[in-house]
């Protein structure tokens, strides 16, 4: 495996991100919804950065897109981990934990006290990663074809040990 680069996305990356997300979803027979659930990918800068969040790409040294993740502000205390998708070739290499560490660092720096995420039970490896990392199940508001489980990670106050 070549070196990995993690960098902020721009709107110039939207088409590549949409292709990656739809490819990973199709692998698990899940729908891509460009009009609703995935509409945020049409304008990453507005959906994430202008809203006070983060959206980053995981690329190889040659610029091939390998994965994505975003933090979307829900309110002043909580953000949502969204669009954390990796191509099969980088799964199982420890990048999931690295990306979650990075997401937590961003969330704390932005002043959030908790990260929530919604997922679907078919994504067993992802759920295993989230729960090993410390996310715990919480009440699911509106289950649908793409999400049937919700998790939360309470962030320790700045300066405390975790």
122: which residues sit within 8 A by CB, 6+ positions away? Answer: 28, 29, 30
Could you tell me the two tokens for 116? Answer: 């929530």
75-106 as b/e: b if 16+ CB within 10 A: eeebbbbbbbbbeeebeeeebbeebbebbbeb
Q: Which CATH number fits domain 4-154: 3.40.50.150, 3.50.50.60, 3.40.630.30, 3.20.20.70?
A: 3.40.630.30
Average pLDDT over residues 25-45: 93
Query: In this predicted structure, which of 15-19, 23-27, 90-94, 102-106 has the lowest mean pLDDT?
Result: 90-94
Residues 109-126: what's their mean pLDDT? 94
Taking 70 as the threshold, does the pLDDT of residue 159 lie above it?
A: no
Provide the mean pLDDT of the chain. 92
Q: If pLDDT is split at 50, 70 and 90, which confidence band does 28 have?
A: very high
- The whole-number average pLDDT for the span 18-41 is 93
Note the pTM of the prediction, 2 decimals.
0.91
Q: Encode pLDDT of 134-146 as tens digits.
A: 999 998 777 676 7
The domain ranges of the chain are: 4-154
Average pLDDT over residues 33-44: 93
């Amino acid at each position: 495996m070549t070196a990995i680069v993690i960098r902020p996305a721009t709107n110039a990356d939207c088409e590549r991100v949409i292709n990656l997300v739809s490819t990973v979803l199709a692998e698990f027979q899940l729908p891509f919804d460009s009009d609703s659930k995935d509409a945020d990918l049409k304008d990453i800068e507005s959906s994430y950065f202008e809203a006070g969040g983060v959206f980053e790409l995981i690329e190889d040294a040659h610029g091939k897109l390998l994965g994505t993740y975003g933090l979307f502000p829900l309110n002043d205390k909580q953000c949502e981990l969204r669009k954390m998708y990796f191509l099969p070739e980088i799964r199982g290499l420890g990048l999931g934990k690295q990306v979650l560490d990075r997401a937590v660092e961003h969330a704390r720096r932005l002043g959030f006290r908790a990260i929530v995420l919604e997922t679907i039970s078919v994504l067993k490896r992802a759920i295993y990663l989230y729960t090993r990392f410390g996310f715990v199940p919480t009440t699911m508001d509106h289950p649908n074809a793409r999400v049937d489980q919700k998790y939360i990670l309470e962030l320790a106050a700045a300066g405390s040990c975790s």
